[in-house]
Amino acid sequence: MRPWSALVRAAGEVRAAHGEAELMACLQRWAGVISGEQSQVGWLPTAQAEPLVRRLEAQEAPCLVDRAPDGSVALGGRLGEGQHFLIGVQFSGTPKGMRDDELLVLAAAARVALLRGDPPDAGALHHLMALLEQSAAVRAATFEADSRLVDTLRDVGQRLTAQLDLDLMVQDATDAATEATGAQFGAFFYNLIDEYGESYTLYTLSGAPREAFAQFPMPRNTKVFAPTFNGECTVRSDDILADPRYGHQEPHYGMPKGHLPVRSYLAVPVISPTSKEVLGGFFFGHSAPAQFTGGHQRLAEGLAGHTAIALDNARLYARERSVATDLQRQMLPTFQATPGFRTVTRYLPAATASEVGGDWLDIIELSSGRTAFVVGDVMGRGVPAAGTMGQIRTAIRAYAMLDLPPSEVLRHSSKLAGEMSGRQFITCIYAVYDPIDQTLTYANAGHPGPAVIAPDGEVSFYEDRLGMPLRLGESFLERVIDFPQGSALVLYTDGLVERRGRPLLDGLADLRLALANLVAGAEDPDAACDEVIKRLTGGAHDDDVALLFARESGEAREVAVMPLTANPLAAAAGRRFAVDTLAKWKLTALQTNASMVVTELVSNAVRHTGAPLALRLQHRAHRLIVEVADGDERQPRQLRPALLDEGHRGLFIVNKLSQRWGTRPTAEGKVVWAELATG
């Protein structure tokens, strides 16, 4: 019987499905050919038989199986010297589902039976073929079910791991798992960590309204739930009510009153593949018993694995986005009212992006009533872009407070960017408005140029003088344009005018049209700017959008200028000029302090530079600004005089009498200025 056992083992699936005894009986009784309704068997034509005989003579194995293109199968074997048998079989089922090792069982059985001289038994062979076909059908169905399982896991896994929104991801996972397992309802309980490091649990539902569970407390670590919450194993019960682990926990001793009916129960832990932390668990229920199979369990476990990866990713993304958003929020300024301007600022993160970007904007109040406007863009996203943005924005603000001209601000910032880690491109435009000259002076480091809306509504774009981005550029050109009262400046990042499917020139044309139709002369610039963004992006921008709008409000100001010469009496003349001017402006309360400041500044210009140029007084927005221009680039230094020193007190006095003072370079030399409060 050992040879027969060896043959039977070659058809393991048939033996497992139908029993070894029945299969052996078929093999022992049979040798010959088949005839019947489901299978047609006959001797092979000579043309097909001869190649098979040659193969039998050439190979060492006593039997062979040969598959023809039409789906038929040839079985053959050696009986003795020069003796062979060949059988042709055409299956009515799916021949691809029949394995060669199973067909070799038939060939070997035929050979052994013929060698033993047993009579052919077509009925036995027919029964055996039916068993094999049935086995193939079962295997094909199993293969199809496994294929569906793989397809489901692949589709859901791809969807989950691509979703970084935590709330959407966990709901999608719960819905997909509930549907795939055939549960009436499912729940996913998952753990999160708050900003203080404390863990808390949330849950999602599928197949049942949230109100159905809202009245119940969170599940506890009972004997039924513990294997899931502890990450020990999957729990599958055909009838949870009859499970020995059920019903031992007070106060309910089972499901609380009003709970949805559950008989079939399936619970799968969700465990992080990296940290091995138990992230949560899936729980599925059905009111009928014995609804969840081993296939459902495998599917739920596979989905739990995908969910764990997706949840890890979503939690990591949420932490990084929180850090980047907080960093960006801290680094982006909160703008106060800008003297002399009606301003609107907008920053919109990309609608399709998963991380914050590096766009920024800034408004900086400079000396002498001037204002700087800045918009920039750091290439990239996430914490690196936000960190670089914060450093560059701070640097530009610091250089601006030194009253450097726009070209110098960008030159120093570019040098600093080159010394920073990372290789992000950084574009930036820096523009300074002078209310006395009514001009706008700007320098551009690879950024979209400014748009200016004239008082009559005409829109002009200035795309020349475009320099290299920061980090790459070493020098930057300046341009001075007229900016009369009532003009408006519009600065923006490329996300407003450039997107997939729309060329940059088309975006600029759309922006020009929108500014002319919506913003020029608008009584509500906030609403107008929002409408501009809406029209240009359609709410589907794939890059961050920053927009800065600043309209000169025609603030009342008074200006008086007096030329200076290197005359020892210049200080006295300047003092008289200041007293008379303040009397005209009805600022007599400031005459004493202002005249002392004028005296010290003019005296310093005459004594230390020998080239005083002019004294200028400005009155605007509750401030009096005193400016003394000279032809010397050297910067004055405030010294702290000793008690008995007669000199070195000029700037010390200026510092005490003014709110702030400073210097700024000019083409001719410098300006020393001081601001005094008027009320």
The answer, yes or no, to whether residue 72 has pLDDT greater than 60, is: yes
460 band by pLDDT with thresholds 50, 70 and 90: very high
Residue 29 is predicted with a pLDDT of 44
Residue 112 is predicted with a pLDDT of 73
Whether 86 and 75 have beta carbons less than 8 Å apart is answered as yes
The answer, yes or no, to whether residue 13 has pLDDT greater than 50, is: no
Lowest model confidence (mean pLDDT) among 333-347, 585-599, 642-656: 642-656
CA dist., res. 246 & res. 50, Å (int): 70
Lowest model confidence (mean pLDDT) among 110-114, 291-295, 432-436, 659-663: 110-114
359 band by pLDDT with thresholds 50, 70 and 90: confident
DSSP3 helix / strand / coil % (the chain, rounded to 5): 40, 25, 35
In the chain, the amino acid numbered 656 is K
Residue 137 is predicted with a pLDDT of 64
Residue 118 is predicted with a pLDDT of 59
Residue 7 is predicted with a pLDDT of 34
Helix (H, G, I), strand (E, B) or coil at 673: strand
Helix (H, G, I), strand (E, B) or coil at 269: strand
The answer, yes or no, to whether residue 135 has pLDDT greater than 70, is: no
Residue 635 is predicted with a pLDDT of 81
Lowest model confidence (mean pLDDT) among 387-391, 502-506, 641-645: 641-645
Q: What is the mean pLDDT of the chain?
A: 79
Lowest model confidence (mean pLDDT) among 21-30, 66-75, 269-278: 21-30
637 band by pLDDT with thresholds 50, 70 and 90: confident
The answer, yes or no, to whether residue 190 has pLDDT greater than 90, is: no
The answer, yes or no, to whether residue 153 has pLDDT greater than 50, is: yes
Residue 54 exposed, middle or buried by CB count within 10 Å (0-12, 13-18, 19+): exposed
Higher pLDDT, 514 or 57: 514
Lowest model confidence (mean pLDDT) among 114-128, 179-193, 234-248, 300-314: 114-128
The answer, yes or no, to whether residue 594 has pLDDT greater than 90, is: yes
Cα angle for residues 546, 552, 554 (degrees, 5° grid)? 160
The answer, yes or no, to whether residue 28 has pLDDT greater than 60, is: no
Out of 47-51, 313-317, 319-323, 586-590, the most confident range is: 586-590
Domain architecture of the chain: domains with CATH = 2-140 (no CATH), 163-251+258-322 (3.30.450.40), 332-552 (3.60.40.10), 557-677 (3.30.565.10)
Out of 43-57, 265-279, 339-353, 641-655, the most confident range is: 265-279
Higher pLDDT, 211 or 546: 546
8 band by pLDDT with thresholds 50, 70 and 90: very low
**pTM for this predicted structure:** 0.60
The answer, yes or no, to whether residue 329 has pLDDT greater than 60, is: yes
Q: Percent of the chain beyond pLDDT 90?
A: 26
648 band by pLDDT with thresholds 50, 70 and 90: low
**What is the rounded average pLDDT of the residues 238-246?**
86
Residue 195 is predicted with a pLDDT of 61
Residue 355 is predicted with a pLDDT of 59
pLDDT tens digits, residue range 521-553?
778 888 999 999 888 887 666 678 889 999 998
pLDDT tens digits, residue range 599-627?
999 998 888 888 888 999 999 878 899 99
CA dist., res. 291 & res. 511, Å (int): 61
Residue 150 is predicted with a pLDDT of 65
Residue 461 is predicted with a pLDDT of 92
**What is the rounded average pLDDT of the residues 372-389?**
85
Out of 21-30, 72-81, 158-167, the most confident range is: 72-81
Cα angle for residues 364, 369, 373 (degrees, 5° grid)? 30
Residue 180 is predicted with a pLDDT of 83
CA dist., res. 261 & res. 241, Å (int): 10
In the chain, the amino acid numbered 254 is G
32 band by pLDDT with thresholds 50, 70 and 90: very low
Helix (H, G, I), strand (E, B) or coil at 47: helix
* E strand residue ranges, 123-184: none
The answer, yes or no, to whether residue 14 has pLDDT greater than 90, is: no
What is the Cα gyration radius of the chain? 44
The answer, yes or no, to whether residue 5 has pLDDT greater than 50, is: no
Residue 40 is predicted with a pLDDT of 36
CA dist., res. 195 & res. 673, Å (int): 48
Kindly write down the DSSP assignment for every residue of 476-519, as one continuous string. Answer: --EEEEE--TT-EEEEE-GGGT-BTTB-HHHHHHHHHHHIIIII
Exposure of 308 in the CB half-sphere (CA atoms within 13 A)? 22
Strand pairing partners for 37?
A: none
User: DSSP assignment, residue 608?
Assistant: I
49 band by pLDDT with thresholds 50, 70 and 90: low
Residue 20 is predicted with a pLDDT of 44
**What is the rounded average pLDDT of the residues 629-638?**
84
Higher pLDDT, 323 or 266: 266
